[in-house]
């Protein structure tokens, strides 16, 4: 099998119930309980009008400006999947546009992530089908390969393996590793509950933050 030009099977992926549970949690809270160290970089932004991105990853690695393997991914993707494409972050040529996105939505995908550029932004920005990308260009793609499907990829240091959980909202994109979803969900729920209590106290005017002065004193700040 040729490294760099191959289609591999996906051996596991997060289930529908896991996806449903995480859809109720802000990406920022999930990020917090993952030590705030995992992120796909600030360039990957939601381009669609509204809507949460959540689903198992079907990964694609392709050379910049070429979408041959993305077309193949659309042929083998299952309903609920999120196709995550590492195109090197290059913005010279669009990897996907309105026609391919309409196909993705029609077959029931949960969204598309492109570490690269898209086109037909006018159609994307008024739609609710989740699309995250690094930029926009009118220049179309090539279809020559090479590329790989269902291999580990990395986007600005965030490793995505096939079947991992992909989450995205207005704050950005996050990958939760397949083996860590149970613990991360439990911790994120606790974080959500704690923030709800802080918000209630804020609305009632009961917020107290003694830790601020305690921290400043510990760090040797003058005048505290």
Q: Write out the binding residues for substrate.
A: 97-100, 119
* DSSP assignment of 198-214: HHHHHHTT----HHHHH
CA distance 57 to 147: 16
Residue 18's nearest CA partner among 127, 162, 178, 192 is 178
Residues placed in the known binding site for Mg(2+) = 120
Query: Tokens at residue 73, please?
Result: 């991914």
> What is the C-alpha separation between 184 and 164, in angstroms, rounded?
13
> Which alpha helices (H) appear in 34-147, and where do they start and end?
68-76, 98-106, 121-125
> Angle formed by the axes of helices 98-106 and 68-76, to 10°?
10
Helix (H, G, I), strand (E, B) or coil at 173: strand
DSSP conformation class of 17: H
What is the CA angle 127-132-135, rounded to 5? 100
| Binding site members | 97-100, 119-120
């Amino acid at each position: 099998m040729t490294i760099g030009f191959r289609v591999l099977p996906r051996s596991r992926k997060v289930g529908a119930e896991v996806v449903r549970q995480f859809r109720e949690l802000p990406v920022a809270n999930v990020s917090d309980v993952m030590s705030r160290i995992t992120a796909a970089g600030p360039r990957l932004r939601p381009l669609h009008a509204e809507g949460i991105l959540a689903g198992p990853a079907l990964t694609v690695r392709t050379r910049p400006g070429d979408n041959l393997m993305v077309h193949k991914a659309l042929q083998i993707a299952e309903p609920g999947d999120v196709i995550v494409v590492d195109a090197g972050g290059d913005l010279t040529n669009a990897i996907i546009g309105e026609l391919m996105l309409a196909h993705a939505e029609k077959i029931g995908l949960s969204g598309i992530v492109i570490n690269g550029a898209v086109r037909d932004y006018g159609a994307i920005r008024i739609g609710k089908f989740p699309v995250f990308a690094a930029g926009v260009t009118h220049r179309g793609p090539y279809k020559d390969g090479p590329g790989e499907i269902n291999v580990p990829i990395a986007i600005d240091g965030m490793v995505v393996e096939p079947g991992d959980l992909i989450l995205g909202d207005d704050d950005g994109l996050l990958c939760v590793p397949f083996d860590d979803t149970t613990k991360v969900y439990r911790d994120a729920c606790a974080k959500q509950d704690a923030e709800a209590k802080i918000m209630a106290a804020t609305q009632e005017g009961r917020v107290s933050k003694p830790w601020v002065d305690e921290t400043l004193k510990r760090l040797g700040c003058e005048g505290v």
